[in-house]
Structure 1
Amino acid sequence: MPEWPEMENYRSLLSALLLDKEISGVVINREKSVNLEPEVFGQELIGRKIIFVERRAKYLIFHLNNGRRLLLHLMLGGLLYFGNDKDKPKRNTQVEIQFGDQTLYFIGLRLGYLHLLTAKQTEEVLSELGPELLDRRMNEEKFVKLLSGRKGMLKTTLVNQNIVAGIGNCYADEIAFAAELRPDVKLQELDEQDLIRLYKAVRDVLMDAAEHGGYMELPLTADDKLTGGYNDLCKVYDREGESCVRCGHPIVKTELASRKAFYCADCQHGK
């Protein structure tokens, strides 16, 4: 599932590709991916322009020049591609938004969605999300206060969007590794220094992943060399049986609260 770095990468790249370009056509191949009748959805978009692309947690918000918003959540398996029919990947597209001879293809929206909303409706959908840990208003002190006194496992806390927003399976494991903590360690067992180390790990991992384009498998455009660059840089996620880059012991895979988790049993510790 795309997480903070993947969606931030999309936001950055799409901001350079879409802004102030008029929407010339809309194709809906799967009605359940949108929240209006396909004909109405298309009519509301054609002739409009995207003037700003915002990211909130795992969502992208496309601001239209009439004040409305397109709210995108890719969920599990969702991907984006911007190009034309000749170079687009051979995959089914659920929604296509055309900008002249270029199209933004929404791929894999079987579980995800693209909804046309008012600004107020968008705020309501996002209102229950927790804070983002790379937000300029977040700092070490606030992070320690946020997690102090909470109960539960580290990984299940990091992926809980109501507590902190934007982190999913992959980066929860990478953050735990960077902090030298097991993903199943109990929060209530961590002291202030552990939480400070965890906060630094969050920032280091997410910023590094975003800088390298996240782990998405599909480039956004035909000449995109950035997207997916972090996939080969993951230290533990999907690395079962491989040698730990820190201590050489094999990475193990387990299951926590119905989620797979990867870690090094030698250099990541409980309390």
Structure 2
Amino acid sequence: MPELPEMETYRTLLVQRIVHRPVTAVEIEREKSINVPVEAFKRRVEGRAIANITRRAKHLLFHLDSGDILLLHLMLGGWMFYGTDREKPDRTAQVVLSFGERSLYFIGLRLGYLHLLDRAEAERKMSGLGPEPLEYDFTVERLSRLLRRKRSVLKPTLTDQKTIAGIGNCYSDEMCFDAGILPNRAIGMMSDEDFAALHRSMHKVLNEAIRFGGYMENPLFPGDALTGGFDSRCVVYDRGGEPCVRCGTPIVQDELASRKVFYCTRCQR
């Protein structure tokens, strides 16, 4: 599932390509992927320009010049491609927004959605999300206060979008490894030094993942050399059984709160 770095990569690349451009056509192949009748969706979107694209947690918000917002959540298996009909992958797109000869294809929206909302509706939709971990005021003290309220273990708390927004399976494991803390560590047993290490690792891992385009490998457009560049840099996520890059101990693949979890029993305490 795309997480904060993947959606930030999409945002950066799409801003360069479709902002200030009008939507010339809309195709809806799966009505359940949107939230209003198809004709109403087309009427409010076609001819409108993309004024800006922002990100909140794992969502992208396409701001139309009308004031309406297209709220995207890719969920599990969702991704996007921007290009011509000839260039697009041989996959079914549930929604297509065209910008002249090139289109933005929303692929794999079986669980995800592209909802058309007004500004107030979008704000209500986002209101339950926790703070962004890379905000300037997301200090180690704030992280500690948020986590200490939870009577839980670390990974499920890091991936709870109401606690902290944007972190999922991949980056929770990567930051726990970088901080040297087991993902199944009880939060009540964490010290001030643990929270400081986790905060540093959170910034380090997320910023590096954004820099290298996240871990999802499907390119956004032909010649896209950024998207997916972090996949080869993951040191524990999806590396079960491989030797730890620090100590050589085989990485453990386990399950925690119905999620896959990867860690090193020697390097993480």
TM over 0.5: yes
Aligned length: 269
Residues 76-126 of structure 1 deviation map (CA, whole Å, 9 limit, x = unaligned): 010011001111111110000000101000000000000000000000011
Residues 163-213 of structure 1 deviation map (CA, whole Å, 9 limit, x = unaligned): 000000011110110111111000000011100100001110000001000
Report the Cα offset of residue 223 of structure 1: 1.3
Identity of aligned residues (%): 50
Aligned-partner residue type, residue 247 of structure 1: C
Structure 2 residue runs without a partner (length 5+): none
3-state SS, counterpart of residue 36 of structure 1 = coil
Q: How many angstroms apart in 1 are the aligned matches of 2:85 and 2:257?
A: 42
- 1:10-159 aligned at under 5 Å gives the runs 10-159=10-159
Q: How many angstroms apart in 2 are the aligned matches of 1:107 and 1:210?
A: 22
Q: How many angstroms apart in 2 are the aligned matches of 1:97 and 1:207?
A: 30
What's 1:213 paired with?
Answer: 213
What's 2:247 paired with?
Answer: 247
3-state SS, counterpart of residue 53 of structure 2 = strand
Aligned-partner residue type, residue 37 of structure 1: P
Report the Cα offset of residue 141 of structure 1: 2.2
Aligned-partner residue type, residue 252 of structure 2: V
Report the Cα offset of residue 226 of structure 1: 0.3
Aligned-partner residue type, residue 92 of structure 2: N
3-state SS, counterpart of residue 214 of structure 1 = coil
Report the Cα offset of residue 149 of structure 1: 4.3
Q: How many angstroms apart in 2 are the aligned matches of 1:30 and 1:116?
A: 15
Structure 1 residue runs without a partner (length 5+): none
Q: How many angstroms apart in 2 are the aligned matches of 1:151 and 1:178?
A: 23
Aligned-partner residue type, residue 127 of structure 1: S
Report the Cα offset of residue 138 of structure 1: 1.3
Q: How many angstroms apart in 1 are the aligned matches of 2:100 and 2:182?
A: 50
What's 1:194 paired with?
Answer: 194
3-state SS, counterpart of residue 176 of structure 1 = helix
3-state SS, counterpart of residue 132 of structure 1 = coil
Q: Which moved more, 1:141-150 or 1:111-120?
A: 141-150
Aligned-partner residue type, residue 62 of structure 1: F
Aligned-partner residue type, residue 82 of structure 1: Y
Q: Does the 8 A contact of 1:9 with 1:210 survive in 2?
A: yes
Aligned-partner residue type, residue 214 of structure 1: G
Q: How many angstroms apart in 2 are the aligned matches of 1:256 and 1:142?
A: 25
Q: How many angstroms apart in 1 are the aligned matches of 2:86 and 2:113?
A: 25
Q: Does the 8 A contact of 1:149 with 1:188 survive in 2?
A: no
What's 1:161 paired with?
Answer: 161
Report the Cα offset of residue 150 of structure 1: 2.7
Q: How many angstroms apart in 1 are the aligned matches of 2:215 and 2:145?
A: 31
3-state SS, counterpart of residue 63 of structure 1 = strand
Residues 25-77 of structure 1 deviation map (CA, whole Å, 9 limit, x = unaligned): 00000000001111221111111000100000000000000111000000001
Q: 1:87 to 1:181 in 2, by over 3 A?
A: same
Q: How many angstroms apart in 1 are the aligned matches of 2:241 and 2:254?
A: 12
Aligned-partner residue type, residue 213 of structure 1: G
Aligned-partner residue type, residue 99 of structure 1: F
Q: How many angstroms apart in 2 are the aligned matches of 1:153 and 1:147?
A: 9
